[in-house]
Protein backbone atom coordinates (compact mmCIF):
# COMPACT_ATOMS: atom_id res chain seq x y z
CA UNK A 1 0.00 0.00 0.00
CA UNK A 2 1.55 3.33 -1.01
CA UNK A 3 0.13 4.79 2.15
CA UNK A 4 2.55 3.40 4.65
CA UNK A 5 5.37 5.23 2.86
CA UNK A 6 4.12 8.76 3.33
CA UNK A 7 3.86 10.50 6.64
CA UNK A 8 1.07 13.06 6.68
CA UNK A 9 0.49 16.02 8.96
CA UNK A 10 -2.26 18.57 9.52
CA UNK A 11 -3.77 20.90 12.05
CA UNK A 12 -6.68 18.89 13.43
CA UNK A 13 -8.51 21.70 15.22
CA UNK A 14 -10.58 24.43 13.54
CA UNK A 15 -8.80 27.46 12.12
CA UNK A 16 -8.59 30.44 14.44
CA UNK A 17 -7.80 31.05 18.07
CA UNK A 18 -8.83 28.42 20.61
CA UNK A 19 -8.09 27.03 24.03
CA UNK A 20 -6.05 24.18 22.66
CA UNK A 21 -4.95 23.39 19.12
CA UNK A 22 -3.84 19.99 17.89
CA UNK A 23 -1.38 18.99 15.20
CA UNK A 24 -1.78 15.40 14.10
CA UNK A 25 0.86 13.36 12.28
CA UNK A 26 0.44 9.84 10.90
CA UNK A 27 2.88 7.47 9.23
CA UNK A 28 6.27 5.81 9.57
CA UNK A 29 8.23 8.98 10.42
CA UNK A 30 6.15 9.75 13.49
CA UNK A 31 8.50 8.31 16.12
CA UNK A 32 11.50 10.05 14.66
CA UNK A 33 9.70 13.38 14.41
CA UNK A 34 8.60 13.02 18.04
CA UNK A 35 12.17 12.32 19.13
CA UNK A 36 13.49 15.38 17.29
CA UNK A 37 10.94 18.00 18.34
CA UNK A 38 9.43 16.89 21.66
CA UNK A 39 11.32 17.36 24.89
CA UNK A 40 9.46 15.73 27.77
CA UNK A 41 9.54 17.42 31.15
CA UNK A 42 10.58 14.20 32.89
CA UNK A 43 13.30 12.29 31.06
CA UNK A 44 12.06 9.06 29.48
CA UNK A 45 13.60 6.38 27.29
CA UNK A 46 10.74 6.31 24.85
CA UNK A 47 7.11 7.40 24.47
CA UNK A 48 4.65 4.74 25.61
CA UNK A 49 1.70 4.24 23.32
CA UNK A 50 -1.52 5.92 24.44
CA UNK A 51 0.15 7.87 27.23
CA UNK A 52 -0.13 11.62 27.58
CA UNK A 53 3.16 13.43 28.14
CA UNK A 54 3.84 16.98 29.23
CA UNK A 55 6.79 18.89 27.77
CA UNK A 56 7.91 21.32 25.07
CA UNK A 57 8.15 21.44 21.32
CA UNK A 58 11.61 22.65 20.45
CA UNK A 59 13.27 23.64 17.24
CA UNK A 60 15.53 20.65 16.39
CA UNK A 61 18.46 22.85 15.31
CA UNK A 62 18.66 25.71 17.80
CA UNK A 63 16.57 24.01 20.54
CA UNK A 64 14.46 27.14 20.88
CA UNK A 65 11.16 26.47 22.62
CA UNK A 66 8.19 26.82 20.31
CA UNK A 67 5.39 25.91 22.71
CA UNK A 68 4.50 24.20 25.95
CA UNK A 69 2.50 21.09 24.98
CA UNK A 70 1.02 17.71 25.75
CA UNK A 71 1.67 14.88 23.29
CA UNK A 72 0.29 11.43 22.79
CA UNK A 73 1.73 8.71 20.59
CA UNK A 74 -0.55 5.94 19.34
CA UNK A 75 1.45 3.12 17.89
CA UNK A 76 0.31 1.20 14.80
CA UNK A 77 -2.09 -0.46 14.45
CA UNK A 78 -3.78 0.90 17.58
CA UNK A 79 -4.63 4.35 16.30
CA UNK A 80 -7.29 6.10 14.26
CA UNK A 81 -5.39 5.54 10.99
CA UNK A 82 -3.92 2.18 12.10
CA UNK A 83 -0.51 3.79 11.56
CA UNK A 84 1.79 5.43 14.10
CA UNK A 85 0.03 8.63 15.08
CA UNK A 86 1.39 11.54 17.07
CA UNK A 87 -0.86 14.25 18.42
CA UNK A 88 0.66 17.46 19.68
CA UNK A 89 -1.71 19.45 21.87
CA UNK A 90 -0.53 23.06 21.78
CA UNK A 91 -1.84 26.37 23.08
CA UNK A 92 -4.57 27.28 20.62
CA UNK A 93 -2.69 29.89 18.65
CA UNK A 94 -2.83 29.69 14.87
CA UNK A 95 0.80 30.89 14.72
CA UNK A 96 2.04 28.19 17.07
CA UNK A 97 0.12 25.50 15.20
CA UNK A 98 1.55 26.69 11.92
CA UNK A 99 5.09 26.56 13.31
CA UNK A 100 4.66 23.07 14.71
CA UNK A 101 3.13 21.87 11.46
CA UNK A 102 5.99 23.37 9.46
CA UNK A 103 8.51 21.65 11.70
CA UNK A 104 6.97 18.29 10.97
CA UNK A 105 6.98 19.05 7.24
CA UNK A 106 10.64 19.96 7.44
CA UNK A 107 11.32 16.60 9.05
CA UNK A 108 9.78 14.69 6.15
CA UNK A 109 6.02 14.71 6.63
CA UNK A 110 3.80 16.11 3.93
CA UNK A 111 0.58 18.05 4.25
CA UNK A 112 -2.44 15.75 4.54
CA UNK A 113 -5.15 15.95 1.93
CA UNK A 114 -8.77 16.51 2.99
CA UNK A 115 -10.06 13.41 4.76
CA UNK A 116 -6.77 11.60 4.39
CA UNK A 117 -6.57 10.42 8.01
CA UNK A 118 -10.03 8.89 7.69
CA UNK A 119 -9.16 7.53 4.25
CA UNK A 120 -6.21 5.71 5.78
CA UNK A 121 -8.47 4.35 8.51
CA UNK A 122 -10.69 3.04 5.69
CA UNK A 123 -7.84 1.65 3.57
CA UNK A 124 -6.43 -0.16 6.60
CA UNK A 125 -9.81 -1.67 7.36
CA UNK A 126 -10.57 0.11 10.65
CA UNK A 127 -13.73 1.58 9.11
CA UNK A 128 -15.80 0.48 6.17
CA UNK A 129 -16.81 3.15 3.68
CA UNK A 130 -20.23 3.70 5.24
CA UNK A 131 -18.52 4.36 8.57
CA UNK A 132 -16.04 6.74 6.97
CA UNK A 133 -19.00 8.59 5.49
CA UNK A 134 -20.54 8.62 8.96
CA UNK A 135 -17.50 10.45 10.27
CA UNK A 136 -18.14 13.11 7.63
CA UNK A 137 -21.83 13.23 8.52
CA UNK A 138 -21.05 13.64 12.21
CA UNK A 139 -18.89 16.64 11.46
CA UNK A 140 -21.43 18.14 9.08
CA UNK A 141 -24.64 17.34 11.00
CA UNK A 142 -26.88 20.38 11.38
CA UNK A 143 -29.54 18.88 13.61
CA UNK A 144 -29.49 16.61 16.62
CA UNK A 145 -31.34 14.00 14.65
CA UNK A 146 -28.82 13.97 11.79
CA UNK A 147 -26.09 13.67 14.39
CA UNK A 148 -27.85 10.75 16.05
CA UNK A 149 -28.10 8.85 12.77
CA UNK A 150 -24.53 9.57 11.79
CA UNK A 151 -23.34 8.34 15.18
CA UNK A 152 -25.28 5.13 14.71
CA UNK A 153 -23.86 4.74 11.23
CA UNK A 154 -20.36 5.03 12.69
CA UNK A 155 -21.15 1.96 14.83
CA UNK A 156 -21.25 0.01 11.56
CA UNK A 157 -24.85 -1.30 11.55
CA UNK A 158 -25.34 -0.56 7.87
CA UNK A 159 -22.13 -2.36 6.96
CA UNK A 160 -23.22 -5.36 9.05
CA UNK A 161 -26.59 -5.53 7.34
CA UNK A 162 -24.92 -5.36 3.92
CA UNK A 163 -22.52 -8.09 4.99
CA UNK A 164 -25.40 -10.42 5.94
CA UNK A 165 -27.05 -9.81 2.56
CA UNK A 166 -23.82 -10.37 0.65
CA UNK A 167 -23.04 -13.53 2.63
CA UNK A 168 -26.33 -15.00 1.46
CA UNK A 169 -25.55 -14.07 -2.15
CA UNK A 170 -22.05 -15.51 -1.82
CA UNK A 171 -23.45 -18.78 -0.56
CA UNK A 172 -25.82 -18.85 -3.50
CA UNK A 173 -22.97 -18.16 -5.89
CA UNK A 174 -20.93 -21.02 -4.44
CA UNK A 175 -23.95 -23.24 -4.93
CA UNK A 176 -24.23 -22.15 -8.55
CA UNK A 177 -20.57 -22.82 -9.11
CA UNK A 178 -21.02 -26.41 -8.02
CA UNK A 179 -23.80 -26.67 -10.56
CA UNK A 180 -21.50 -25.22 -13.22
CA UNK A 181 -18.60 -27.51 -12.37
CA UNK A 182 -20.68 -30.66 -12.28
CA UNK A 183 -23.25 -30.13 -15.01
CA UNK A 184 -23.88 -33.84 -15.50
CA UNK A 185 -25.38 -34.10 -12.04
CA UNK A 186 -28.88 -32.83 -12.35
CA UNK A 187 -29.00 -32.01 -8.66
CA UNK A 188 -29.01 -28.30 -9.22
CA UNK A 189 -32.51 -27.94 -10.66
CA UNK A 190 -34.56 -28.65 -7.56
CA UNK A 191 -32.31 -26.98 -4.97
CA UNK A 192 -32.11 -23.90 -7.20
CA UNK A 193 -35.82 -23.37 -6.67
CA UNK A 194 -35.29 -23.53 -2.97
CA UNK A 195 -33.12 -20.45 -3.30
CA UNK A 196 -35.92 -18.22 -4.58
CA UNK A 197 -37.57 -17.73 -1.17
CA UNK A 198 -34.18 -17.24 0.46
CA UNK A 199 -33.32 -14.50 -2.01
CA UNK A 200 -36.69 -12.96 -1.35
CA UNK A 201 -36.35 -13.03 2.45
CA UNK A 202 -32.65 -12.65 3.06
CA UNK A 203 -31.72 -10.35 0.20
CA UNK A 204 -34.62 -8.40 -1.26
CA UNK A 205 -36.54 -7.87 1.97
CA UNK A 206 -33.70 -6.32 3.96
CA UNK A 207 -32.74 -4.11 1.01
CA UNK A 208 -36.30 -2.90 0.71
CA UNK A 209 -36.32 -2.31 4.46
CA UNK A 210 -33.30 -0.06 4.11
CA UNK A 211 -34.94 1.86 1.29
CA UNK A 212 -38.06 2.30 3.39
CA UNK A 213 -35.96 3.61 6.24
CA UNK A 214 -34.51 6.13 3.83
CA UNK A 215 -37.86 7.40 2.62
CA UNK A 216 -39.25 7.47 6.14
CA UNK A 217 -36.39 9.62 7.32
CA UNK A 218 -36.81 11.87 4.34
CA UNK A 219 -40.52 12.31 5.06
CA UNK A 220 -39.79 13.46 8.59
CA UNK A 221 -37.00 15.73 7.44
CA UNK A 222 -38.43 17.33 4.33
CA UNK A 223 -42.10 16.42 4.30
CA UNK A 224 -43.91 13.72 2.37
CA UNK A 225 -44.17 13.91 -1.40
CA UNK A 226 -47.79 13.65 -2.51
CA UNK A 227 -48.62 13.20 -6.19
CA UNK A 228 -52.05 14.04 -7.62
CA UNK A 229 -52.59 11.62 -10.50
CA UNK A 230 -55.28 10.29 -12.79
CA UNK A 231 -56.36 10.34 -16.39
CA UNK A 232 -56.82 13.70 -18.17
CA UNK A 233 -59.60 16.11 -17.24
CA UNK A 234 -60.67 14.44 -13.99
CA UNK A 235 -59.92 17.62 -12.02
CA UNK A 236 -56.39 17.14 -10.70
CA UNK A 237 -55.34 20.75 -11.19
CA UNK A 238 -58.64 21.95 -9.71
CA UNK A 239 -57.88 19.82 -6.66
CA UNK A 240 -54.39 21.28 -6.32
CA UNK A 241 -55.85 24.79 -6.41
CA UNK A 242 -58.42 23.81 -3.80
CA UNK A 243 -55.78 22.41 -1.45
CA UNK A 244 -53.60 25.48 -1.89
CA UNK A 245 -56.57 27.85 -1.75
CA UNK A 246 -55.20 29.75 -4.71
CA UNK A 247 -55.36 29.51 -8.49
CA UNK A 248 -51.95 28.09 -9.02
CA UNK A 249 -52.48 25.59 -11.85
CA UNK A 250 -54.26 26.22 -15.13
CA UNK A 251 -57.67 24.58 -15.28
CA UNK A 252 -59.53 24.11 -18.57
CA UNK A 253 -62.08 21.69 -19.93
CA UNK A 254 -59.51 20.52 -22.51
CA UNK A 255 -58.00 17.14 -21.58
CA UNK A 256 -54.21 17.34 -21.51
CA UNK A 257 -53.99 20.85 -20.04
CA UNK A 258 -51.27 20.20 -17.48
CA UNK A 259 -47.83 19.27 -18.79
CA UNK A 260 -45.16 20.37 -16.37
CA UNK A 261 -45.33 19.17 -12.82
CA UNK A 262 -46.54 21.91 -10.51
CA UNK A 263 -45.18 21.47 -7.03
CA UNK A 264 -46.04 23.44 -3.90
CA UNK A 265 -45.66 22.95 -0.19
CA UNK A 266 -48.89 22.32 1.62
CA UNK A 267 -49.22 22.58 5.35
CA UNK A 268 -51.80 20.30 6.93
CA UNK A 269 -51.92 20.76 10.71
CA UNK A 270 -48.26 21.70 10.69
CA UNK A 271 -47.23 18.71 8.63
CA UNK A 272 -45.27 19.79 5.55
CA UNK A 273 -46.39 18.03 2.39
CA UNK A 274 -44.88 18.57 -1.02
CA UNK A 275 -47.87 18.24 -3.29
CA UNK A 276 -47.40 17.80 -7.05
CA UNK A 277 -50.03 18.20 -9.75
CA UNK A 278 -49.15 16.03 -12.73
CA UNK A 279 -50.13 15.65 -16.38
CA UNK A 280 -53.15 13.44 -17.04
CA UNK A 281 -51.92 9.91 -17.69
CA UNK A 282 -52.72 8.65 -21.17
CA UNK A 283 -51.01 7.41 -24.31
CA UNK A 284 -50.39 10.44 -26.50
CA UNK A 285 -48.70 11.24 -29.78
CA UNK A 286 -48.26 14.85 -28.76
CA UNK A 287 -44.54 15.28 -28.02
CA UNK A 288 -44.87 17.86 -25.24
CA UNK A 289 -47.71 16.07 -23.51
CA UNK A 290 -45.75 12.81 -23.73
CA UNK A 291 -42.89 14.39 -21.81
CA UNK A 292 -45.39 15.58 -19.20
CA UNK A 293 -46.77 12.06 -18.86
CA UNK A 294 -43.28 10.66 -18.46
CA UNK A 295 -42.55 13.19 -15.72
CA UNK A 296 -45.80 12.25 -14.02
CA UNK A 297 -44.65 8.62 -13.82
CA UNK A 298 -41.32 9.72 -12.38
CA UNK A 299 -43.10 11.75 -9.73
CA UNK A 300 -45.31 8.80 -8.85
CA UNK A 301 -42.22 6.66 -8.37
CA UNK A 302 -40.87 9.25 -5.96
CA UNK A 303 -44.14 9.86 -4.11
CA UNK A 304 -44.82 8.75 -0.54
CA UNK A 305 -48.55 9.07 -1.03
CA UNK A 306 -50.66 9.23 -4.17
CA UNK A 307 -54.07 10.87 -4.66
CA UNK A 308 -55.68 8.88 -7.46
CA UNK A 309 -58.38 11.16 -8.85
CA UNK A 310 -61.40 9.71 -10.62
CA UNK A 311 -64.23 11.60 -12.29
CA UNK A 312 -67.43 10.07 -10.87
CA UNK A 313 -69.62 11.83 -13.44
CA UNK A 314 -68.31 9.39 -16.02
CA UNK A 315 -68.33 5.62 -16.07
CA UNK A 316 -65.20 3.98 -14.71
CA UNK A 317 -62.85 3.66 -17.67
CA UNK A 318 -60.30 1.09 -18.67
CA UNK A 319 -57.68 3.82 -18.24
CA UNK A 320 -58.55 4.36 -14.58
CA UNK A 321 -57.99 0.69 -13.88
CA UNK A 322 -54.79 0.59 -15.90
CA UNK A 323 -53.38 3.46 -13.91
CA UNK A 324 -54.32 1.73 -10.67
CA UNK A 325 -52.69 -1.52 -11.81
CA UNK A 326 -49.43 0.34 -12.39
CA UNK A 327 -49.38 2.16 -9.06
CA UNK A 328 -51.07 -0.29 -6.72
CA UNK A 329 -47.85 -0.85 -4.77
CA UNK A 330 -48.05 2.75 -3.64
CA UNK A 331 -49.85 4.27 -0.71
CA UNK A 332 -53.03 5.54 -2.39
CA UNK A 333 -56.09 7.57 -1.44
CA UNK A 334 -58.90 7.33 -3.98
CA UNK A 335 -60.40 10.77 -4.62
CA UNK A 336 -63.80 10.75 -6.29
CA UNK A 337 -64.14 14.16 -7.88
CA UNK A 338 -67.06 15.99 -9.48
CA UNK A 339 -69.44 14.54 -6.92
CA UNK A 340 -71.62 17.62 -7.51
CA UNK A 341 -72.68 15.93 -10.78
CA UNK A 342 -74.83 12.82 -11.19
CA UNK A 343 -72.61 9.84 -10.33
CA UNK A 344 -72.04 7.26 -13.05
CA UNK A 345 -69.97 4.93 -10.92
CA UNK A 346 -71.35 2.42 -8.48
CA UNK A 347 -69.57 2.49 -5.13
CA UNK A 348 -69.69 -1.30 -4.91
CA UNK A 349 -67.83 -1.59 -8.20
CA UNK A 350 -65.22 0.83 -6.89
CA UNK A 351 -64.70 -1.15 -3.69
CA UNK A 352 -64.19 -4.25 -5.78
CA UNK A 353 -61.88 -2.71 -8.38
CA UNK A 354 -59.76 -0.75 -5.95
CA UNK A 355 -59.49 -3.26 -3.13
CA UNK A 356 -59.71 -1.46 0.19
CA UNK A 357 -58.39 1.95 -0.69
CA UNK A 358 -59.61 4.81 1.46
CA UNK A 359 -62.19 6.77 -0.55
CA UNK A 360 -63.03 10.47 -0.27
CA UNK A 361 -65.79 12.22 -2.26
CA UNK A 362 -65.05 15.78 -3.27
CA UNK A 363 -66.04 18.51 -5.63
CA UNK A 364 -62.97 20.46 -6.54
CA UNK A 365 -65.16 22.92 -8.43
CA UNK A 366 -67.19 23.83 -5.35
CA UNK A 367 -64.54 23.10 -2.74
CA UNK A 368 -66.61 20.39 -1.11
CA UNK A 369 -65.05 17.51 0.82
CA UNK A 370 -61.62 19.15 0.93
CA UNK A 371 -61.45 19.26 4.71
CA UNK A 372 -62.34 15.60 4.89
CA UNK A 373 -59.64 14.87 2.32
CA UNK A 374 -57.07 16.83 4.31
CA UNK A 375 -57.98 14.89 7.42
CA UNK A 376 -57.63 11.61 5.56
CA UNK A 377 -54.22 12.61 4.19
CA UNK A 378 -53.08 13.75 7.62
CA UNK A 379 -54.17 10.60 9.42
CA UNK A 380 -52.85 8.45 6.65
CA UNK A 381 -49.37 9.93 6.92
CA UNK A 382 -49.49 10.01 10.71
CA UNK A 383 -50.93 6.53 10.95
CA UNK A 384 -48.01 5.08 9.14
CA UNK A 385 -45.30 3.93 11.44
CA UNK A 386 -43.46 7.18 11.91
CA UNK A 387 -41.11 5.91 14.56
CA UNK A 388 -37.60 6.45 13.36
CA UNK A 389 -35.70 3.49 12.00
CA UNK A 390 -32.60 2.75 14.01
CA UNK A 391 -30.32 3.50 11.11
CA UNK A 392 -30.82 5.01 7.69
CA UNK A 393 -28.90 4.90 4.45
CA UNK A 394 -27.66 8.11 2.84
CA UNK A 395 -28.58 9.24 -0.66
CA UNK A 396 -25.53 7.50 -2.09
CA UNK A 397 -26.47 4.26 -0.35
CA UNK A 398 -30.05 4.56 -1.53
CA UNK A 399 -28.91 4.83 -5.15
CA UNK A 400 -26.67 1.81 -4.77
CA UNK A 401 -29.50 -0.17 -3.14
CA UNK A 402 -31.84 0.67 -6.01
CA UNK A 403 -29.32 -0.65 -8.50
CA UNK A 404 -28.91 -3.76 -6.36
CA UNK A 405 -32.66 -4.40 -6.51
CA UNK A 406 -32.55 -4.24 -10.31
CA UNK A 407 -29.72 -6.75 -10.37
CA UNK A 408 -31.54 -9.07 -7.97
CA UNK A 409 -34.69 -8.88 -10.03
CA UNK A 410 -32.62 -10.02 -13.00
CA UNK A 411 -31.39 -12.97 -10.92
CA UNK A 412 -34.97 -13.89 -10.05
CA UNK A 413 -36.04 -13.59 -13.65
CA UNK A 414 -33.16 -15.74 -14.85
CA UNK A 415 -34.07 -18.38 -12.29
CA UNK A 416 -37.76 -18.35 -13.11
CA UNK A 417 -36.92 -18.68 -16.79
CA UNK A 418 -34.63 -21.60 -16.06
CA UNK A 419 -31.52 -19.98 -17.51
CA UNK A 420 -28.22 -21.83 -17.07
CA UNK A 421 -26.34 -21.52 -13.79
CA UNK A 422 -23.43 -19.76 -15.55
CA UNK A 423 -25.73 -16.97 -16.53
CA UNK A 424 -27.31 -16.61 -13.10
CA UNK A 425 -23.90 -16.64 -11.49
CA UNK A 426 -22.82 -13.60 -13.54
CA UNK A 427 -25.85 -11.68 -12.28
CA UNK A 428 -25.15 -12.73 -8.69
CA UNK A 429 -21.59 -11.44 -9.01
CA UNK A 430 -22.99 -8.17 -10.33
CA UNK A 431 -25.35 -7.82 -7.35
CA UNK A 432 -22.49 -8.62 -4.95
CA UNK A 433 -20.29 -5.98 -6.53
CA UNK A 434 -23.02 -3.35 -6.45
CA UNK A 435 -23.67 -3.95 -2.75
CA UNK A 436 -19.93 -3.90 -2.13
CA UNK A 437 -19.93 -0.23 -3.15
CA UNK A 438 -21.69 0.65 0.10
CA UNK A 439 -18.94 -0.68 2.30
CA UNK A 440 -16.21 0.38 -0.11
CA UNK A 441 -15.02 -3.01 -1.30
CA UNK A 442 -15.86 -2.42 -4.93
CA UNK A 443 -16.21 1.34 -4.98
CA UNK A 444 -14.48 3.02 -7.89
CA UNK A 445 -11.47 5.25 -7.27
CA UNK A 446 -13.44 8.30 -8.49
CA UNK A 447 -16.19 7.84 -5.96
CA UNK A 448 -13.72 7.29 -3.13
CA UNK A 449 -11.89 10.42 -4.14
CA UNK A 450 -15.15 12.34 -4.26
CA UNK A 451 -16.25 11.13 -0.83
CA UNK A 452 -13.02 11.98 0.92
CA UNK A 453 -12.64 15.31 -0.85
CA UNK A 454 -15.73 16.47 1.02
CA UNK A 455 -13.89 16.19 4.33
CA UNK A 456 -11.87 18.97 5.85
CA UNK A 457 -8.10 18.85 6.11
CA UNK A 458 -7.02 17.18 9.34
CA UNK A 459 -9.93 14.70 9.53
N1 LIG B 1 -7.51 13.38 20.46
C2 LIG B 1 -8.26 12.74 19.60
N3 LIG B 1 -9.59 12.72 19.74
C4 LIG B 1 -10.36 12.06 18.83
C5 LIG B 1 -9.79 11.40 17.73
C6 LIG B 1 -8.39 11.39 17.61
O7 LIG B 1 -7.81 10.82 16.67
N8 LIG B 1 -7.67 12.07 18.56
N9 LIG B 1 -10.63 10.78 16.81
C10 LIG B 1 -10.41 10.69 15.46
O11 LIG B 1 -10.11 11.63 14.77
C12 LIG B 1 -11.94 10.35 17.25
C13 LIG B 1 -11.83 9.10 18.03
N14 LIG B 1 -11.39 8.00 17.21
C15 LIG B 1 -10.34 7.16 17.54
C16 LIG B 1 -10.40 5.85 17.09
C17 LIG B 1 -9.41 4.97 17.48
C18 LIG B 1 -8.36 5.38 18.29
C19 LIG B 1 -7.35 4.39 18.76
O20 LIG B 1 -6.27 4.76 19.13
N21 LIG B 1 -7.69 3.11 18.81
C22 LIG B 1 -6.86 2.01 19.26
C23 LIG B 1 -6.69 1.94 20.75
C24 LIG B 1 -7.94 1.67 21.53
C25 LIG B 1 -7.64 1.40 23.00
O26 LIG B 1 -7.02 2.19 23.65
O27 LIG B 1 -8.12 0.36 23.46
C28 LIG B 1 -7.38 0.70 18.68
O29 LIG B 1 -8.57 0.64 18.40
O30 LIG B 1 -6.60 -0.22 18.52
C31 LIG B 1 -8.32 6.71 18.67
C32 LIG B 1 -9.29 7.60 18.31
C33 LIG B 1 -12.58 11.48 18.00
N34 LIG B 1 -11.69 12.05 19.00
N1 LIG C 1 -68.60 19.80 -12.20
C2 LIG C 1 -67.32 19.74 -11.84
N3 LIG C 1 -66.36 20.04 -12.70
C4 LIG C 1 -65.07 19.97 -12.30
C5 LIG C 1 -64.74 19.59 -10.99
N6 LIG C 1 -63.39 19.62 -10.88
C7 LIG C 1 -62.90 19.99 -12.07
N8 LIG C 1 -63.93 20.22 -12.94
C9 LIG C 1 -63.81 20.65 -14.34
O10 LIG C 1 -63.15 19.62 -15.07
C11 LIG C 1 -62.33 20.21 -16.09
C12 LIG C 1 -60.92 19.71 -15.97
O13 LIG C 1 -60.35 20.18 -14.76
P14 LIG C 1 -58.78 20.19 -14.50
O15 LIG C 1 -58.58 20.52 -13.09
O16 LIG C 1 -58.09 21.01 -15.51
O17 LIG C 1 -58.47 18.67 -14.78
P18 LIG C 1 -57.08 17.95 -14.83
O19 LIG C 1 -57.26 16.59 -14.27
O20 LIG C 1 -56.02 18.77 -14.21
O21 LIG C 1 -56.81 17.79 -16.37
P22 LIG C 1 -55.45 17.63 -17.18
O23 LIG C 1 -54.47 18.59 -16.67
O24 LIG C 1 -55.82 17.86 -18.56
O25 LIG C 1 -55.02 16.20 -16.96
C26 LIG C 1 -62.44 21.71 -15.92
O27 LIG C 1 -63.38 22.18 -16.81
C28 LIG C 1 -62.91 21.85 -14.47
O29 LIG C 1 -63.66 23.04 -14.26
C30 LIG C 1 -65.79 19.28 -10.08
O31 LIG C 1 -65.59 18.95 -8.92
N32 LIG C 1 -67.06 19.35 -10.55
MG1 LIG D 1 -54.33 19.56 -14.93
Does the ipTM exceed 0.85? Answer: no
Task: Report the pocket of ligand 2 as residue ranges, CB < 6 Å.
Answer: 232-238, 251-253, 255-258, 279-280, 337-338, 340-341, 363-365
Percent share of the chain, pLDDT over 70: 96
Residue 193 has pLDDT above 90, yes or no: no
Task: Take atom 7 of ligand 2 and give the residue whose Cα is closest.
Answer: 235
How far lies 163's CA from each of 156, 169, 206, 434, 445, in Å? 11, 10, 11, 12, 21
Residue 242: burial class (beta carbons within 10 Å; 0-12, 13-18, 19+): buried
pLDDT higher than 90, residue 34: yes
Range 301-307 average pLDDT: 94
* Poorest-pLDDT segment among 188-202, 285-299, 325-339, 423-437: 188-202
Q: Mean pLDDT over residues 355-383, rounded?
A: 92
Q: Which whole number is the average pLDDT over 152-181?
A: 93
What DSSP element (H or E) covers 311? strand 305-311
23 within 8 A of 97, measured Cβ to Cβ? yes
Ligand 1 pocket check for 51: Cβ under 6 Å: no
Asked whether the predicted pLDDT for residue 297 surpasses 90, the reply is yes
The closest ligand to the CA of 138 turns out to be: 1
Q: Where are the beta strands (DSSP E) in 212-304?
A: 224-229, 262-268, 271-277
Q: Residues 91-115: what's their mean pLDDT?
A: 97
pLDDT at 356: 83
Q: What is the pLDDT of residue 187?
A: 53
**Cβ-proximal residues to 107 (8 Å cutoff; 6+ apart), any chain:** 29, 32, 33, 36, 37, 60
Look at ligand 1, atom 14, and give the residue with the nearest C-alpha. 80
pLDDT at 2 > cutoff 70: no
Least confident segment among 56-65, 88-97, 213-222? 213-222
Domains for the chain: give ranges and CATH numbers. Answer: 8-128 (3.30.1360.120), 135-216+392-439 (1.20.120.430), 222-253+260-382 (3.40.50.300)
pLDDT band at residue 186 using 50, 70 and 90 as cut-offs: low
Expressed in angstroms and rounded, the spacing between residue 24 Cα and the centre of ligand 1 is 12
Mean pLDDT, the chain, integer: 92
pLDDT confidence tier of residue 385, bands split at 50, 70 and 90: low
pLDDT at residue 1 is higher than 60: no
Atom index in ligand 2 nearest the CA of residue 277 equals 20
86: CA distance to ligand 3 center in Å?
65
Amino acid sequence: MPYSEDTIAAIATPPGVGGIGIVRISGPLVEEIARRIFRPKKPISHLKSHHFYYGHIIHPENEEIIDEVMVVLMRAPHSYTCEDVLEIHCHGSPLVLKQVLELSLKLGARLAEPGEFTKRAFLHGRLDLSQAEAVLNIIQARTERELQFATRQLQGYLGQEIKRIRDCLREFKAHLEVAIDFPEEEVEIAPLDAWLPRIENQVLKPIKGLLQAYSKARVLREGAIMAIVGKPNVGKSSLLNCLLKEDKAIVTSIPGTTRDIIEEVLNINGMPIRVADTAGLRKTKHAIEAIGVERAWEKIAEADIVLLVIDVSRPLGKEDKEIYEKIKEKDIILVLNKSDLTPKIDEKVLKKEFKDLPIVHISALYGQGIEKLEKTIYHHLLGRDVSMPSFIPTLRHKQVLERAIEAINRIKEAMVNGLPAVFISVEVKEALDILGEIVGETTSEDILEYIFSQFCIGK
